[in-house]
Amino acid sequence: MSKIDAFFKVANQCLKIVKNSDQLYKKKGNGIKEGLDLFVSRLPLLKIIHELSADYSKIDESAAKICIEITKTSVLCLSHTVDIETQINWHKAALEAARKLGDPRNIYLTANNLAIALTDTKREKEAIEILQECLDITDSQSLKDKSGKAKVLNNLGIAYKNIGQYSKAIECYNKKLKIVKSIPNELLEVSALGNLGIVHKEKKDYDEAKKYHELRLKLAKKLNNPILISNAYGDLGITYRHNNDLDKSIEYLKKQLRLTRKHEIQNGEGRALRELSQSLYLQGKIREAIINAKKALIIKKGKKDPSVSEIQKTLLEWINESC
C-alpha cells in the first residue's frame, strides 16, 4: 500500500471520528462532554492527518476535500480543545484547499470560520477583508445563499463593532435583519435584533437599544425558547444599568435568573448572577452584590470561564470596601 493510500484509509476513519464528536456535541447536555472527550482522545492523530491532508491538497483533490471536511466538522470541538493559533492554522489550510478546488461554497464557509477565529484574536482588519470576500461569494449567481449571507453579515457586524465602527456594524445588522425576515428565519431574526440592541447600547443610544431588545424579547417569547428569552432579559438588564435605571435593571436580571434556574441553563445563570451583582452594587446593596457575585464565581469556576479572575478581583474589592 502506498503512503497516500494509507493516508486516505486513516483519514476516512478520522473523518468518522470528527463527525461522531460533532454529533455528540450538538446533542448538548452530557453529549457536549462526550463529544469533546472523543475528540480529545483522538486529537494527536487528527493533528497528523490534518497536516498531511493540507500537504496532499496541493497535488490531490480528494485530499483537499478531506482537509476541508475535517476542519469544518471539527469547528465546535476545536474551539474548546486547542489554542486559537492552531484553530487559525486549520482554517487557513481548509480555505487554501477550498480555493485549490475552486469551490465557492466551501471557500466562504472556511473563510467565515477563519474570520471568526481572527476576530477572537483582535485581528478584525484581517477578518473584515476575508468577510467582504465571503459576501461577494454568497451574492454570486452560482450560490445565492441568503442564509449564508446573513451569517457573514452578522460576523462582519461583530468585527466592525469591536473596532468601534458602529455605523458600519448597524448597517450590517440591518441588512441581516432584512434578509432573515425575507427567508423567513425567526431564530436569526432574534439574533439580528439582539445585535442591533447591543451595538446601540455601546453607542450609548439607550432608547434604541431597549427598543431592539424588547422586539427581540417579544419574538423569543413567541418561539417559547427559554435560552433566547433569558438572554434578552439579560441584555435589557445591562442596558437599563448603563442608562442609570437600576430598579429596571435589577428587575430584568432577576427575571433572567429565575428563568435560567427553572430551565437549568447554567451559563445563563452565571451571567445573570454576575450582572445582577453589578447592578446591586451600584444601587448601594454591597452585601447582596457580594452574595450574588460569589454564586456567579462558583458557576464560572465549574465552567472554567475566562471571567473568573475578573470576578475574583471585583469580589475582593467589594469585600474590602464593606469591611
Q: Encode pLDDT of 75-123 as tens digits.
A: 999 999 999 999 999 999 999 999 999 999 999 999 999 999 999 999 9
The residue from 54, 82, 101 where one domain ends is 101
Domain count, the chain: 3
| Whether residues 244 and 208 fall in one domain | no
| Whether residues 37 and 17 fall in one domain | yes
In angstroms, the Cα distances linking 269 to 53, 264, 282 are 42, 8, 20
Specify if 219 maps to a domain.
no
Nearest to 241 by CA among 254, 228, 225, 229: 254
Local structure of 46: helix, strand or coil: helix
* Residues above pLDDT 70, as percent of the chain: 99
Q: Which residues, including other chains, have CB under 8 Å from residue 105's CB and lie 6 or more apart?
A: 143, 145
The pLDDT value given to residue 139? 82
Q: Band of the pLDDT at 146, cuts 50, 70, 90? A: confident
The average confidence (pLDDT) of the chain is 94
Q: What is the CATH number of the domain that holds 127?
A: 1.25.40.10
Specify if 189 maps to a domain.
yes
* Residues above pLDDT 90, as percent of the chain: 84
Specify if 161 maps to a domain.
yes
| Whether residues 115 and 21 fall in one domain | no
Specify if 132 maps to a domain.
yes
Is the pLDDT at 244 greater than 80, yes or no?
yes
| Whether residues 109 and 144 fall in one domain | yes
> Average pLDDT of 128-143?
85
| Whether residues 153 and 209 fall in one domain | yes
Digit-coded pLDDT (tens) for 203-218: 999 999 999 999 999 9
| Whether residues 265 and 295 fall in one domain | yes
Q: Band of the pLDDT at 300, cuts 50, 70, 90? A: confident
The residue from 50, 75, 101 where one domain ends is 101
The pLDDT value given to residue 5? 87
| Whether residues 71 and 118 fall in one domain | no
| Whether residues 148 and 166 fall in one domain | yes
| Whether residues 33 and 12 fall in one domain | yes
The residue from 101, 133, 150 where one domain ends is 101
Q: Band of the pLDDT at 250, cuts 50, 70, 90? A: very high
Q: Band of the pLDDT at 142, cuts 50, 70, 90? A: low
In angstroms, the Cα distances linking 6 to 3, 37, 112, 182 are 5, 26, 31, 48
Q: For 168, how many CA atoms within 13 A lie in the half-sphere containing its CB?
A: 13
Residue-number span of the structural domain to which 12 is assigned = 1-101
Specify if 271 maps to a domain.
yes
| Whether residues 55 and 112 fall in one domain | no
Specify if 5 maps to a domain.
yes
> Average pLDDT of 69-74?
96
Specify if 86 maps to a domain.
yes
The pLDDT value given to residue 141? 64
> Average pLDDT of 54-61?
93
Q: Band of the pLDDT at 138, cuts 50, 70, 90? A: confident
| Whether residues 204 and 239 fall in one domain | no
Predicted model pTM: 0.86
How does DSSP assign 221-239, residue by residue? HHHT-HHHHHHHHHHHHHH
Specify if 220 maps to a domain.
no
| Whether residues 86 and 109 fall in one domain | no
C-alpha cell at 45: 492523530
